[in-house]
Structure 1
Amino acid sequence: MRSDGTILARGQSDAQDCLLSADEPLAGLHLRCGGQLPGPIAVPELMELVRKARRYGFRLARAVSAHDGGEIVTAWVEAEPRDGGQGCDIRIRNWRSAPQPSEDSTASEARRAATDRHLAELTARLDAGQRILAVETESAELRELAAAMENGIGRLWTDFLPPENVTHHQPLHWRLLDGSRVIVPASSRPFQVRLLPAMQPGFDPAGFELLLLSDVPAPTAAASVGGAALPSNRRGLVGQELAPVLRQPIARIIANAETIRTRMAGPLPDAYAGYASEISSAGQLLLDLLDDLSDLEVVESRDFQTAPDQIDLGEVSRQAAGILNVRAREKSIALIAPEPGETLPAIAEFRRVLQVLLNLIGNAIRYSPEGSQIWIRLEGDGANAQVIVADEGPGISPEQQARVFDKFERLGRVGDGGSGLGLFISRRLARAMGGDLTVESEPGRGARFILTVPADPDAP
């Protein structure tokens, strides 16, 4: 351990890790962090170092960092326990302070979007012209609105959520509508919309994710239980009763944890920001599990049916790629989607195909190495239409391929946050649409997941 350098300040702690005395600049930092003299050590990393030195009974030394207003202070600190465990002598060396770096605007915006997704009471997918593609909600208050929007797929979202005090012809440019207040029929609460574009730098958005949010809490959970079937076809104990009750409080936990983690409420030591990040991640895992269990109830119900329609698999593939493109770029993965104008007519339910492709592409991103490529290709053979998602990941052995679509199967993976339900649900959806979901792979040579649905016989 280091012992060189001029001692800039000294301090003493007692057996309860209270700071009894301290020289400047340690005393000033302790007081600005909310401490008192004498009083418990208020600098978290210093407290941890002193506590360990006292418990272990030998000298410890390391660099300690703390937030001091708009600056970050770093110092080399030695904590040496006194005889009998009566506290520690503290020596400060090499004190430095620097302005707190400003957060990257892209990362900040991504975290804000993630927080808004957690709090959204209704979510819709829109095409490039802001026309509705799919709608989901867990809110009993918004069920009629969601049902009307689902019946109006292909229409502008503003037909159902008119912006307040806007009389211009719709649709306005999405940037003018993002964050605007909207009128929600049959609700007295104020709402606003967020429009999250799916886009690549230099191109216009390929579509949007619409989030409906309110600063006023929703009606009591009891009012959201036991009503009519949700537009998303989520029924049963989890989908209709537990998910609506649990979703909002979990979302609030995630949002508050993100506020702490991003230091929007004020300076915070890195260790505490890390704790908040773990809380947020655990909350997101719970929400994902609720979604998977809700979908599992749907696909396993006896009366489950899809709503087949004439769709273009090329358009659905580009939508899915646009939604996940940011996640792919975070790992420097090139996501290669069908070119604009490349079409493949099929008979299937748009939002269910989108759900399957989001699962397949998301898995490919999760398990592919950084700097690799993922291809989304279209193939047709007359009676069938196929979307192939191919990656450069580790591949799947023949023995694993026999199990990869089983319920709760994770192929031995731990700690990746998956529930082992995504591929099981995706195959059930594919088969409910009259198609199938299969895999081709070799260890070390990536994997090809193939979604097959009926081709459109009336297409030219």
Structure 2
Amino acid sequence: MTQVERIAITARSDAADHLVSADEPLASLQLRCGGVIPGAIAVPELREVVAKARGFGLKMARPILAQDGTDTIRAWIEVTPQADAQGGCLIALRNWQATPLPPEPADLASRRRMEIDRALAELTARLDAAQGVLTVDADAPDLAECAAAMRAGIGRHWTQFVTLKDLSHRAPLHWRLLDGVELTVPGSVRVWRATLVPQSGGDGGIAGFELCLNSDSPMAVELVPVVQVVAQPVAAPPVIGRELAPVLRQPIARIIANAETIRTRLAGPLAAEYAAYAGDIATAGQHLMGLVEDLADIEVIEGAGFAPAADRIDLADVARRAAGILSVRAREKGITIAAPGEETHLPAVGEFRRVLQILLNLIGNAIRYSPENSVISLILTRTPHLARIAVADQGPGIPPGDALRVFDKFERLGRSGDGGSGLGLYISRRLARAMGGELSVDAASKIGARFVLDLPADQG
């Protein structure tokens, strides 16, 4: 039901566009929008009109629209600059109308919470359809023991590496029963909460999950006494490395999560243009997070003694898993990923998670540069000594003269604004070669780009 306030509502601002006094119900709206009195004007459209009137020195009148989380507010505003010591404006609002907002869809808040959990997760793992671990990445030092155990137990159900609170049943549970469950982790004194994000497959079923572990408690920091030592010449420490990357991930993740909270208006009502600004901040944060991850990967693969595991894998199965993980992103552009069928197998030798990383990069690039409603094909072949998979798209392709440059560090062939760092292909080729294989681009491809990953064939 719409509530209408007929009596004029007055307020006063100062030269800094701070609200110094206000009648009801404007005073309450200022507080509900996160402001104080006196304090900066918290209602975006009101602040904009007041700033323009004061800046131009002209009386301004116009309708304004605001939201306080429960109501939509409409009013007619008149702002008159004042030539006195305060240097602010006299504000008058008429025909104040408050209309209750329509009820929010039941699943909207849960979707927003899921996105925040994903951005702030201190451990993220990719799971298959049976909730078996595929890959894992942990930021917090007290999760290192759990992450190492998961990497050593690829394929096992993720609950085998943690202790579920208030759930004594250890057999695999339906994922909906595990979504949101509290748990403890070996090596950590904090209580954790699991978030399971299903990943849809090409047939509409669930192809896998993203597991995120979050804790409401920050990790305790041990204070170390300062000891004066004589400086000794040492080699320069790595730029990113195992020490700096976790430090960077947490604040960047919080920037992304806070920007997403603002963009989705979870923290309160906001004008569309400000929500768009928050979306730009979130996108920039995600790009920066990807760059940190890529730089950390480079340090690992370029380090002395790096040697991927020589696992016996099914390259066709890895391709299907990678296609399933990226199927949602592909469908957003109407793109079809033509993955090998379940009956197809191609034995190869290589570290499972590194091969999956390469294919995720190749397919992700294909999605990024392919036109809408096109097809990305994953094509398997075998020679006596090699297992081969080609990722072919229908995008603009790679000019023959750029076939070698595309694998250089930070090389993006003049592209800008697409969220890439120019490191993915460099890392992927280094990984392929470290596993005794090769990553190349077919410069003779006449339609789109065609990247080819070769791995040693499993002769067993």
What is the TM-score when the length of structure 1 is the normalising length?
0.81
Rounded Cα–Cα distance in structure 1 between residues aligned with 2:218 and 2:39: 40
Rounded Cα–Cα distance in structure 2 between residues aligned with 1:265 and 1:300: 43
Rounded Cα–Cα distance in structure 2 between residues aligned with 1:118 and 1:336: 30
SS at match of 1:416: coil
Report the alpha carbon displacement of residue 113 of structure 1 after superposing the two structures with TM: 3.5
Rounded Cα–Cα distance in structure 2 between residues aligned with 1:385 and 1:75: 69
2:51 corresponding residue in structure 1: 51
Specify whether residues 32 and 159 from structure 1 end up closer, same or farther in structure 2 by C-alpha distance, changes over 3 A only.
closer
Report the alpha carbon displacement of residue 216 of structure 1 after superposing the two structures with TM: 1.4
1:69-148 counterparts in 2 under 5 A? 69-73=69-73, 99-100=100-101, 111-148=112-149
What is the TM-score when the length of structure 2 is the normalising length?
0.81
Rounded Cα–Cα distance in structure 2 between residues aligned with 1:104 and 1:393: 38
SS at match of 1:206: strand
1:174-323 counterparts in 2 under 5 A? 174-200=175-201, 203-220=204-221, 236-323=238-325
1:266-415 counterparts in 2 under 5 A? 266-415=268-417
One-letter amino acid of the structure 2 residue matched with residue 295 of structure 1: D
Report the alpha carbon displacement of residue 293 of structure 1 after superposing the two structures with TM: 0.5
Q: 76-85 or 424-433: which moved more?
A: 76-85
Report the alpha carbon displacement of residue 237 of structure 1 after superposing the two structures with TM: 4.6
Rounded Cα–Cα distance in structure 2 between residues aligned with 1:41 and 1:119: 31
Asked if structure 1 preserves the Cα contact closer than 8 Å seen for 2:386 and 2:457, the reply is: yes
SS at match of 1:404: helix
Asked if structure 2 preserves the Cα contact closer than 8 Å seen for 1:368 and 1:392, the reply is: yes
Specify whether residues 341 and 75 from structure 1 end up closer, same or farther in structure 2 by C-alpha distance, changes over 3 A only.
farther
Q: 254-263 or 14-23: which moved more?
A: 14-23
Rounded Cα–Cα distance in structure 1 between residues aligned with 2:155 and 2:34: 56
Specify whether residues 254 and 450 from structure 1 end up closer, same or farther in structure 2 by C-alpha distance, changes over 3 A only.
same
Specify whether residues 83 and 184 from structure 1 end up closer, same or farther in structure 2 by C-alpha distance, changes over 3 A only.
closer
Specify whether residues 205 and 12 from structure 1 end up closer, same or farther in structure 2 by C-alpha distance, changes over 3 A only.
same
Report the alpha carbon displacement of residue 139 of structure 1 after superposing the two structures with TM: 2.7
Rounded Cα–Cα distance in structure 1 between residues aligned with 2:104 and 2:372: 24
Rounded Cα–Cα distance in structure 2 between residues aligned with 1:208 and 1:417: 24
Rounded Cα–Cα distance in structure 2 between residues aligned with 1:349 and 1:409: 26
Specify whether residues 260 and 399 from structure 1 end up closer, same or farther in structure 2 by C-alpha distance, changes over 3 A only.
same
Q: Deviations over 1:334-361 (max 9, x none)?
A: 2332222222211111100110111111
Asked if structure 2 preserves the Cα contact closer than 8 Å seen for 1:394 and 1:443, the reply is: no
Report the alpha carbon displacement of residue 187 of structure 1 after superposing the two structures with TM: 2.5
Report the alpha carbon displacement of residue 140 of structure 1 after superposing the two structures with TM: 2.3
Specify whether residues 160 and 17 from structure 1 end up closer, same or farther in structure 2 by C-alpha distance, changes over 3 A only.
closer
Specify whether residues 302 and 443 from structure 1 end up closer, same or farther in structure 2 by C-alpha distance, changes over 3 A only.
same
Rounded Cα–Cα distance in structure 2 between residues aligned with 1:348 and 1:91: 72
1:446 corresponding residue in structure 2: 448
2:425 corresponding residue in structure 1: 423
SS at match of 1:136: strand
One-letter amino acid of the structure 2 residue matched with residue 65 of structure 1: L
Rounded Cα–Cα distance in structure 1 between residues aligned with 2:173 and 2:23: 61
Report the alpha carbon displacement of residue 132 of structure 1 after superposing the two structures with TM: 2.3
Q: Deviations over 1:255-281 (max 9, x none)?
A: 333333333333344444344434433
Report the alpha carbon displacement of residue 240 of structure 1 after superposing the two structures with TM: 1.4
For structure 1, list consecutive stretches of 5 or more residues without a partner in the other structure.
Answer: 1-7, 224-234
SS at match of 1:129: coil
Q: Deviations over 1:342-392 (max 9, x none)?
A: 222111111001101111111122222333332223222332222222222
One-letter amino acid of the structure 1 residue matched with residue 120 of structure 2: L
Report the alpha carbon displacement of residue 454 of structure 1 after superposing the two structures with TM: 1.6
Rounded Cα–Cα distance in structure 1 between residues aligned with 2:379 and 2:33: 56
Specify whether residues 60 and 218 from structure 1 end up closer, same or farther in structure 2 by C-alpha distance, changes over 3 A only.
same
Q: Deviations over 1:141-183 (max 9, x none)?
A: 2222222222222322222213233333511112212222223
One-letter amino acid of the structure 2 residue matched with residue 172 of structure 1: L
One-letter amino acid of the structure 1 residue matched with residue 50 of structure 2: V
Asked if structure 2 preserves the Cα contact closer than 8 Å seen for 1:120 and 1:213, the reply is: yes
Rounded Cα–Cα distance in structure 2 between residues aligned with 1:62 and 1:395: 52
SS at match of 1:338: coil
1:152 corresponding residue in structure 2: 153
Q: For this pair of structures, how many residues does the alignment match?
A: 442
Specify whether residues 95 and 402 from structure 1 end up closer, same or farther in structure 2 by C-alpha distance, changes over 3 A only.
farther
SS at match of 2:193: strand
Q: 355-364 or 194-203: which moved more?
A: 194-203
Cα RMSD after superposing both structures: 3.7
Q: Is 1:432 paired with 2:455? A: no
Rounded Cα–Cα distance in structure 1 between residues aligned with 2:183 and 2:36: 49
